[in-house]
Amino acid sequence: MKHRVTESRPAAAADAPEQGQADSPSGTRPVESIADLRDALNHCRRCALWQAATQGVPGEGRETARLMLVGEVPGDAEDLAGHPFVGPAGALLDRALHEAGIDRRAVFVTNAVKHFKFEQRGKRRLHVRPSIAEVKACSWWLAEELRLVRPRLAVALGATAARSLLGRSVTISAMRGRAVPVGGTMHVWVTVHPSFLLRMPQETRRRAELARFVGELREAIEWLRRAG
């Protein structure tokens, strides 16, 4: 499947199915509502990640949200709970949203890839970054969420989300902190992933980066206000 950034639709939306498309051997079928996503996702065979994961983790939040937050892939806690951003990265995201004055219940939170990818080390399941092929395969689902929620702004939390939303690999430092038009009425705002902050060993640097992240979330919501 070739990714394109079309003039009228973001990359993930370019993979959106046509209305009425029949079930496919990959197990995907267009959904009629956000409520249908969970069941539909659990039939997905577009890549092999479903085999080891406990379940597919759909996006959730306000179904008419103007702001969508897109992470990378569910982690261990999300895989078990079936909800996005409920583990350590989620706790940091919640804190950053709170500091930025954003109510998580007013936004839609999801991931570029919907099944946990991990490596088993003893009893621990360690996160593994999804491949480009897996991101592309799963962009079908992100496109479904974009089609149903129709956000005005999608915040890409990290490089994997940016890749899925923009259809190309980008350097976060070169793209972060501004609204990038992707056609139609949607823009993409690239920033870092909360796990990037969690992994920082040095306390002072972590604090500075967290402040920058909060600042960018604040700017994103300001942009949205100005955009009307």
CB of 198 to ligand URA, least distance (A): 10
Q: Taking CB under 6 A as the rule, does residue 58 contact ligand URA?
A: no
- Token digits of residue 143: 């496109």
Q: Taking CB under 6 A as the rule, does residue 141 contact ligand URA?
A: no
Is the Cβ of residue 118 or residue 140 nearer to ligand URA in the bound state? 118
| Residue 120: burial class (beta carbons within 10 Å; 0-12, 13-18, 19+) | exposed
Is the Cβ of residue 126 or residue 227 nearer to ligand URA in the bound state? 126
Is the Cβ of residue 9 or residue 165 nearer to ligand URA in the bound state? 165
Q: Taking CB under 6 A as the rule, does residue 75 contact ligand URA?
A: yes
Considering only 12-20, 78-86, 140-148, 164-172, which stretch makes contact with ligand URA by CB under 6 A? 78-86
Binding positions for ligand URA, 170-209, rule CB under 6 A? 195
Please say whether the beta carbons of 116 and 29 come within 8 A: no
Q: Taking CB under 6 A as the rule, does residue 84 contact ligand URA?
A: yes
C-alpha to C-alpha distance for 203 and 125, rounded to whole angstroms: 26
C-alpha to C-alpha distance for 130 and 137, rounded to whole angstroms: 11
Considering only 13-21, 68-76, 143-151, 214-222, which stretch makes contact with ligand URA by CB under 6 A? 68-76
| Chain residue at closest Cβ approach to ligand URA | 71
Q: Taking CB under 6 A as the rule, does residue 167 contact ligand URA?
A: no
Q: Taking CB under 6 A as the rule, does residue 221 contact ligand URA?
A: no
Considering only 20-28, 82-90, 98-106, 172-180, which stretch makes contact with ligand URA by CB under 6 A? 82-90
Q: Note the residues at the interface with ligand URA (CB under 6 A).
A: 71-75, 78, 84-85, 87, 89-90, 111, 195
